[in-house]
């Protein structure tokens, strides 16, 4: 099905960027524009998702040049779901930013850059052309660079250097891989590539290209051993920015990995074992890193890495229910990681520190808020019936049936370590008696005006509700990820939707 209005989320973001740039110094107006445009985009995303669900894969040709020559935008169920989750996370972060980001940062262009980042994410999910994917990745990284360094002090700058270097390197590797792929096949359209890569005689070159893609996306999605930039940079920017990064940026790497390695390079034996090895190492090292850190956001950063392992494991298993688990995990992880970083922001506002040794006593001073935050904590651990539980079960069962016992052990150990880390966090932050007085003027949360406080709490409550909905609607979510798995594992439908858009199946 062709649909000319497919890319309206991207266009709406672009339009908000322009609007926000025009009111550069008007802080309050920028907040209003950003929140309302994010709300509009969330509605558009819901409509788009319904449309894809009912009508199948939608595609659009930029400039009316037919595929495989034009620039293709595609929305299959996977893209549409990612767009929807991006819109949800974007809305939550924009609302949180309205109270959580300082006036100086907003005057230096925080909101336009945030919309640019969200536009890049949407574009990457829609891209049906590999070079177009590269361009959207560049939009994402350039926006994230600016967000990373905006109004920064020394630690933020140090984190930014790590982040910028690794991401620039990743995009050069990505570009190299595209060059090789174009040299091999002479096309850039992903559907066309899917057909032509299978016909290439020089298989070793294809494998080299696949590995280059894996390294490029691996840096972006922070898998072992390419993740060291993440924990040293994600804890430095303000929490709203970290939430956007932690929730979405590594996930777009995973999205690209899943897309590439289902559509263009279906894993052979070597890639299969490589993925499993990387998954195991990522799970264990990420969890171990979270164990030894004592800074709230650093622990969360390592947990991001650890949980990327689950998704790579699902891709590595490359079976229907393995992929199913990976996708379900991906969806719920976006919601819960965004939420946890927002929670970290609120806690920082209350206590003026992120250090576990100095935090404490929140359950006593803010009982209702603590109950709300408990939902996010338990979701991450995956205590049944929370949403983290269901995908883990299907991954563990699948590694049993495929006799990948090492992976099975790693999955279970990582789950236990996650639980231990989260429990330690919970007792340290909420139950432990407050060890020392909060320094004067550090508790800015209780001094905020009530409507600002609500702006901080509403997105957290919203994401918690969504987590609960994902948990209790697990059957529906499993249906969605089932359908996505079918679409990914049998890419003929995707290919036909792009190359023969007007023939009805």
Partner 1 sequence: MNSIILRTASAYLLPLLLLFSIFILLRGHYEPGGGFVGGLTAAIAFVLHLIANGLQKTRSLLRYHPGVFIPTGLLLSFASGVAPMFVGRPFMTGLWLSEPIPVLGTIGSSLFFDVGVYLVVLGVTLTILFTIVENT
Partner 2 sequence: MELLLVILIGVLYASGLYMMLRRSMVKLLIGLILIGNGANLLIFLLGDLSKGKPPVIDVALTAFQNAYADPVPQSLILTAIVISFGLQSFAVVLLKRVYMITDTDDLDQLNSDDQDI
| Positions in the binding site for partner 2 (CB under 8 A) | 131, 135, 138, 141-142, 145-146, 149, 152-155, 157-161, 164-165, 168-169, 172, 175-176, 178-180, 182-183, 188, 232, 235-236, 292-295
Say which residue the tokens 């990064």 belong to.
245
22 binds partner 1 per the rule CB under 8 A: yes
Figure out which of the listed residues 9, 17, 362, 381 binds partner 1, where binding follows CB under 8 A: 17
Taking the complex as a whole, the smallest distance from the CB of residue 184 to partner 2 amounts, in Å, to 8
User: Angle, to 10 degrees, between the axis of helix 320-351 and the axis of helix 77-100?
Assistant: 0
| 151 three-state secondary structure | coil
User: What residues have CB less than 8 Å from 306, skipping those under 6 apart?
Assistant: 282, 283, 285, 286, 287, 289, 290, 414, 417, 418
- Distance in angstroms (rounded) separating the CA atoms of residues 269 and 275: 10
CB 299 within 8 A of CB 266: no
- Distance in angstroms (rounded) separating the CA atoms of residues 411 and 285: 12
Taking the complex as a whole, the smallest distance from the CB of residue 157 to partner 1 amounts, in Å, to 15
Sole window of 6-14, 188-196, 373-381, 451-459 interacting with partner 1 (rule: CB under 8 A): 6-14
Taking the complex as a whole, the smallest distance from the CB of residue 145 to partner 2 amounts, in Å, to 6
Taking the complex as a whole, the smallest distance from the CB of residue 292 to partner 2 amounts, in Å, to 6
Sole window of 4-12, 26-34, 345-353, 369-377 interacting with partner 1 (rule: CB under 8 A): 4-12
Taking the complex as a whole, the smallest distance from the CB of residue 108 to partner 2 amounts, in Å, to 13
Query: 354 to each of 294, 419, 452, how far by Cα in Å?
Result: 8, 20, 21
269 binds partner 1 per the rule CB under 8 A: no
**In this complex, which beta carbon is closest to partner 1, that of residue 4 or of residue 364?**
4
170, interface contact from partner 2, partner 1, none, CB < 5-8 Å by kind: none
Kindly state the number of chain residues that form the binding site for partner 1, as judged by CB under 8 A.
17
Taking the complex as a whole, the smallest distance from the CB of residue 278 to partner 2 amounts, in Å, to 22
- Distance in angstroms (rounded) separating the CA atoms of residues 477 and 444: 39
**In this complex, which beta carbon is closest to partner 1, that of residue 31 or of residue 366?**
31
Q: Choose among 9, 15, 236, 21: nearest CA to 110.
A: 21
**In this complex, which beta carbon is closest to partner 1, that of residue 17 or of residue 495?**
17
Site for partner 1 in 43-62 (CB under 8 A): 60-62
**In this complex, which beta carbon is closest to partner 1, that of residue 11 or of residue 419?**
11
**In this complex, which beta carbon is closest to partner 1, that of residue 1 or of residue 14?**
14
Taking the complex as a whole, the smallest distance from the CB of residue 103 to partner 1 amounts, in Å, to 18
CB 209 within 8 A of CB 240: no
416 binds partner 1 per the rule CB under 8 A: no
11 binds partner 1 per the rule CB under 8 A: yes
135 binds partner 1 per the rule CB under 8 A: no
Q: Choose among 405, 429, 416, 425: nearest CA to 383.
A: 416
- Distance in angstroms (rounded) separating the CA atoms of residues 148 and 241: 8
400 binds partner 1 per the rule CB under 8 A: no
375, interface contact from partner 2, partner 1, none, CB < 5-8 Å by kind: none
Taking the complex as a whole, the smallest distance from the CB of residue 7 to partner 1 amounts, in Å, to 6
- Distance in angstroms (rounded) separating the CA atoms of residues 404 and 117: 38
Task: Tell me the two tokens of residue 468.
Answer: 């609960």
131 binds partner 1 per the rule CB under 8 A: no
Task: Tell me the two tokens of residue 348.
Answer: 């920082």
| 259 three-state secondary structure | helix
81, interface contact from partner 2, partner 1, none, CB < 5-8 Å by kind: none
User: Angle, to 10 degrees, between the axis of helix 320-351 and the axis of helix 450-472?
Assistant: 160
5, interface contact from partner 2, partner 1, none, CB < 5-8 Å by kind: partner 1
- Distance in angstroms (rounded) separating the CA atoms of residues 418 and 66: 48
Task: Provide the CB-side half-sphere exposure for 242 (13 A, CA).
Answer: 30
369, interface contact from partner 2, partner 1, none, CB < 5-8 Å by kind: none
For CA atoms 123, 124, 128, 129, give the dihedral sign: positive
117 binds partner 1 per the rule CB under 8 A: no
**In this complex, which beta carbon is closest to partner 1, that of residue 72 or of residue 285?**
72
Alpha-helix residue ranges (DSSP H) falling in 101-186: 103-107, 110-126, 130-149, 154-185
Alpha-helix residue ranges (DSSP H) falling in 318-404: 320-351, 362-365, 367-381, 389-401
Contact residues toward partner 1 (CB under 8 A) are: 2, 4-5, 7, 11, 14-15, 17-18, 21-22, 24, 60-64
């Amino acid at each position: 099905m062709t649909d000319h209005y497919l890319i309206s989320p991207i266009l709406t973001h672009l339009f908000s960027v322009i609007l926000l740039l025009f009111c550069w110094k008007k802080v309050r107006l920028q907040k209003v524009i950003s929140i309302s445009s994010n709300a509009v985009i969330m509605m558009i995303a819901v409509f788009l998702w319904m449309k894809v669900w009912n009508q199948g894969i939608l595609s659009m040709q930029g400039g009316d040049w037919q595929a495989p020559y034009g620039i293709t935008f595609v929305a299959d169920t996977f893209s549409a779901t990612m767009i929807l989750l991006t819109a949800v996370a974007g809305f939550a972060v924009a609302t949180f930013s309205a109270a959580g980001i300082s006036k100086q940062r907003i005057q230096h262009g925080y909101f336009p850059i945030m919309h640019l980042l969200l536009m890049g994410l949407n574009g990457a999910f829609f891209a049906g052309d590999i070079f177009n994917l590269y361009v959207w990745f560049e939009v994402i990284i350039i926006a994230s660079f600016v967000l990373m360094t905006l109004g920064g002090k020394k630690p933020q700058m140090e984190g930014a250097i790590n982040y910028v270097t690794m991401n620039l390197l990743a995009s050069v590797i990505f570009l190299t891989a595209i060059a090789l792929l174009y040299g091999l096949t002479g096309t850039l359209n992903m559907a066309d590539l899917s057909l032509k890569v299978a016909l290439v005689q020089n298989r070793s070159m294809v494998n080299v290209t696949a590995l280059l893609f894996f390294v490029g996306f691996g840096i972006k999605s922070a898998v072992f051993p390419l993740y060291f930039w993440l924990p040293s940079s994600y804890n430095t920017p303000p929490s709203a920015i970290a939430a956007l990064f932690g929730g979405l940026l590594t996930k777009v790497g995973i999205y690209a990995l899943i897309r590439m390695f289902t559509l263009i390079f279906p894993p052979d034996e070597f890639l299969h074992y490589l993925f499993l090895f990387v998954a195991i190492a990522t799970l264990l090292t990420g969890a171990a890193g979270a164990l030894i850190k004592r800074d709230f956001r650093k622990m969360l950063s390592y947990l991001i890495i650890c949980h990327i392992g689950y998704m790579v494991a699902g891709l590595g298993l490359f079976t229907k229910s393995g992929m199913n688990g990976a996708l379900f995990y991906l969806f719920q992880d976006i919601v819960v990681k965004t939420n946890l970083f927002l929670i970290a922001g609120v806690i920082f506002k209350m206590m003026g520190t992120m250090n576990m040794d100095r935090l404490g006593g929140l359950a006593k001073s803010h009982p209702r808020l603590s109950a709300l935050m408990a939902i996010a904590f338990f979701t991450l651990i995956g205590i049944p019936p929370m949403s983290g539980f269901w995908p883990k079960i299907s991954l563990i069962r699948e590694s049993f049936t495929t006799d990948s016992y090492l992976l099975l052990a790693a999955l279970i150990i990582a789950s236990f370590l996650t639980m231990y880390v989260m429990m330690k966090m919970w007792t340290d932050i909420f139950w432990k008696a407050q060890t020392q007085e909060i320094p004067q003027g550090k508790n800015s949360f209780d001094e905020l005006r009530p409507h600002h406080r609500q702006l901080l709490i509403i997105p957290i409550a919203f994401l918690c509700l969504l987590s609960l909905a994902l948990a209790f609607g697990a059957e529906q979510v499993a249906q969605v990820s089932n359908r996505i798995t079918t679409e990914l594992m049998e890419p003929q439908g995707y290919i036909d939707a792009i190359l023969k858009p007007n023939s009805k199946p």
